[in-house]
Structure 1
């Protein structure tokens, strides 16, 4: 719609139609945003950065479990505890992982600790988003904790564990690496 000679309705209202420069600027901003988003996602997937715990606690549990989280500092009085993987190699597929929590101060296993697995992933082989299923199993013996694991492919897997030790405040955290073989 033109009113006066050669002027559009937008010009008559004091607005100028978007020119080629505005479209180029918008395209540039969108491309930079897409590249930045892809880079952030790639860094997150590689484990190059972590989701802060304050943010992770506000996410739904399935989403928070999938995202890498910052390592929680362990209280100094719990530094004497460490997990030990009883079988450093397991067959790819369904496997039983057996671990033991040791008190290094006395050199003995802790029999009455509450041990739970937090995550099983392939971070040692550069694939932290490749996760496997983990389910607790009945203890095969005193001080030994077992987990049914879904090791979907060969390679190195990281098992992230946590434990509550009676009489101690805080939580013991550890990560063990095992190898899935054919």
Structure 2
């Protein structure tokens, strides 16, 4: 009887350990992705990104984006940063921005966000190409 109880207890501990490692995400399980890799340049260019839970592939709504910057670092002009502002979302998990993308070339969108229920910050540096 004690032999089977030991096995049952061991199985319960193993099951609990497996559940606890897969049930909670870490901040590294989230990433921003560009909706479009090319953006039409202009004074009010729109840049859309999605926040993805990499474990499920699903978008994550209601993140709090507290840092945003757009610059030309991919073309060696990191100091060329332009104004950027958040726009209302059109669908859950999609985050939209309007920026002054003054010239064609390589641009970088840097974001910092908090995901509800998680500790830490999702930091992303997304490179896109501005086209005329």
Task: Tell me the TM-score normalised to structure 2 length.
Answer: 0.77
1:153 and 2:103 matched: yes
Structure 1 gaps, min length 5? 1-75
| CA distance in structure 1 between the aligned counterparts of 2:104 and 2:67, rounded to whole angstroms | 20
Q: In 2, Cα distance between the equivalents of 1:132 and 1:117?
A: 14
Match of 1:144 among 70, 94, 108: 94
Match of 2:37 among 81, 88, 91: 88
Query: Is contact 1:83–1:101 with CA below 8 Å preserved after alignment?
Result: yes
Distance in 2 separating the partners of 1:150 and 1:129 = 14
Kindly tell me the number of residue pairs found equivalent between the two proteins.
Answer: 107
| Counterparts in 2 of 1:176 and 1:150: CA distance versus 1, 3 Å | same
Conservation of the 8 A alpha-carbon contact between 1:117 and 1:159: no
| Contact residue 117 and residue 134 of structure 1 kept, 8 A | no
More strand, by proportion: 2
Q: For residues 117 and 149 of structure 1, do their structure 2 counterparts lie closer, same or farther at Cα, with a shift above 3 Å needed?
A: farther
Instruction: Indicate the RMSD between aligned Cα atoms, in angstroms.
Output: 1.4
Work out the CA distance in 2 between the residues paired with 1:116 and 1:144.
15
Gaps of 5+ in 2: 1-24
Q: Distance in 2 between matches of 1:166 and 1:117?
A: 16
Does 2:63 align with 1:113? yes
**Runs of 4+ residues deviating >4 angstroms:** none
Higher relative contact order (CA closer than 8 Å, sequence separation 6+)? 2
Match of 2:128 in 1: 178
Q: Relative to total residues, which structure has the larger helix share, 1 or 2?
A: 1
How many angstroms does 1:114 deviate by?
A: 1.4
- Scaled by the length of structure 1, the TM-score of the pair is 0.56
